[in-house]
Copies of this chain bind each other. A is one copy, B any other.
Amino acid sequence: MNTRFPERKPAPRWRRRKDTRPAEILAAALEIFGERGYDATRLEDVGRRAGCTKGTVFLYYESKSELFKAAVREAMLPQLRETEKLVDEHRGGARELLESLLRMRWDHMERTRLSGLVRLLLTETGKYPELARFYNEEFIDKNQTLLRRVIQKGVDGGEFRAVDVAQAARVVVSPLLFAAVWRHSFDQVVPAPVPLELYFETSIQIMLAGLATSNVHQTV
């Protein structure tokens, strides 16, 4: 799926050298949505940061919600594809695959500028059911499907205990969500910041041992 260009408008103008391209508009949109939230983002500011006018933004995206969805797809689809590739191509055990998948998700959160987006989704989707539905259908649900596949593989192969697979898929990612919430709300005010890498490593240990059929021979 090509998200770099809008589907509805053929937009031949992008071929002209000096025009602002959709990709630049989307990058600017993602930054500003992340910094200010959905409500406070204005299309003129997105245009200004992308080096064009509000009119040019509207040329490509019919509304703020269309711009938002396009920017989220631009940011999230490559990550989803990378995760799908990992699961499809993995040849080892389920435990190893689950660990790789969780590390990949963590890396995606840490190395991209998506913490602002996570904050937006946590704080504003309650007000905008359409955005919540979009995000759930296109990303959460697909990521959960991958996690269920991996956990089911572990249960079927005897590596994991007979847990409820759908709920376990939610439990194993909940520490990542905690980290995003913490960074947004509390990290700025506590005297000593949470050592997030150590937190993440601890969560990996607990989740893997918690799913394993036997953890007696594991080192910690």
Contacts and interface: CB of A to CB of B under 8 A. Distances in A.
A161 B119 contact: no
Interface string A186-215: 101110001100110111011111111111
A175 interface: yes
Contact of A122 (B122, B188, B198): B122
Contacts of A161: 205, 209, 215, 220
Nearest to A211: B206
Nearest to A121: B185
A168 interface: yes
Contacts of A171: 175, 178, 199, 202-203, 206
Interface string A48-61: 00000000000000
A75 interface: no
Interface of A: 119, 121-126, 129, 132-133, 136, 140, 161-164, 167-168, 170-175, 177-178, 181, 184-186, 188-190, 194-195, 198-199, 201-203, 205-216, 220
28 contacts: A123-B126, A132-B189, A133-B189, A133-B190, A140-B186, A161-B205, A161-B209, A161-B215, A161-B220, A164-B198, A167-B195, A167-B198, A167-B201, A167-B202, A167-B203, A170-B178, A170-B202, A171-B178, A171-B199, A171-B202, A172-B206, A174-B177, A174-B178, A177-B181, A206-B207, A209-B209, A209-B215, A210-B211
